[in-house]
Copies of this chain bind each other. A is one copy, B any other.
Amino acid sequence: MNKKVVTLGEMLLRLSTNNNNRFITSKSFDIHFGGAEINVGVNLANLGLNSYVITKVPNNDIGTASVNYLKSHGVYTDYVKTGSERLGIYFLEQGTSLRNSKVIYDRADSAFCNIDIDELDIDEILENTDLFHVSGITLTLSEKTFELSKLILQKCKEKNITTSFDFNYRSKLWTLQEAKEKIVEILPYVDIAFAGYLDFINILGFKTDATNLMDTYKDLYPKVAEKYNFKYIVSSMRDVISASKNNYKCILFHNDNIYESKQYQIDIVDRVGSGDAFTSGFLYSFLTSDDNNYRIQFAAASAAIKHTIVGDANLTTKEEIENLFNSDSFEIGR
């Protein structure tokens, strides 16, 4: 039977420059919709799971357009609330070559920030749910979204529903100290953690003497997993050659083993959402396969191919993802 996944997060209107224009030379913005957990939800629906997102959008045509976007990719919108005044916005100037991308957030006081626990029947939402996912961004948006996140995670624990958390630390949204306080509070309810080793060091305060990347994983991840009782830690490694060229690979830690994906050299069309494609890639393979090697290969290839797709969502297929990691081409060093 098809798995049910629920994500909780802010729907954002993305307004991005086009044709290599900068913000100050643009005469039009391309319209996309996104948001970390929204992207995960869309990607999972696109891959065929029963995907529900909990969010809130204003009761106007911008809000309606964002809901139509969800529907068009098969996301179930039963838990999408309407009300409040505005949809959060982020402006994106796509970088290229030596010029970095720029993001301007205009998301304060969005409809989602004002979502009330009372608007939702959480027990009904979690009925038959196989997995719940949320990221650090939702923790930081408002007190309401933090409390809601925590409550759902706790209920999942009670109901034995797998929980997934992506640290998703953004210095534009909170300080390391603020992040630590909030994140530590919810980690006890997390089964699968998406994070980089620097998150463990900078946010959670772990230390290591390891001098290379693999040793760092081997040293750090068992300690982290033990302390927070994570069943899986999943990390991506990005080597930035330029704004339009990255090398990319992923690793998975589970039961004291580390599983590595292939590494990809990527010419980037749109990097935004590649982290969420990594997350959704892992969650999909986690829910449909028991093979940790397959899972991490799927996660990495899912993220890699996202870089070639315009918009926040990973509008690809299971076949394209599998072909990518099964193919001989594209791997660095072949």
A positions within 8 Å CB-CB of B:
15, 18-31, 60-62, 64-65, 68-69, 71-74, 85-86, 89, 91, 93, 95-100, 102, 104, 106, 108-109, 240-242, 244-245, 264-270, 304-305, 307-311, 315-316, 320, 324, 329-330
Contact = CB atoms under 8 A, between A and B. Distances in A.
Given A15-B29, A62-B104, A20 B310 contact: yes
Given A68-B73, A71-B74, A308 B62 contact: no
- Name, among A18, A91, A106, A324, the residue most crowded by chain B CB atoms within 10 Å (CB to CB): A106
A313 to B, nearest CB: 9
6 contacts: A26-B65, A29-B31, A62-B91, A72-B72, A96-B267, A241-B329
A307 B97 contact: yes
B330 A242 contact: yes
Contacts of A264: 98
Contacts of A26: 31, 65
Contacts of A320: 99-100
Chain copies in complex: 6
A85 B324 CA distance: 27
Contact of A27 (B27, B240, B241): B27
Contacts of A96: 267, 269, 308
A246 to B, nearest CB: 10
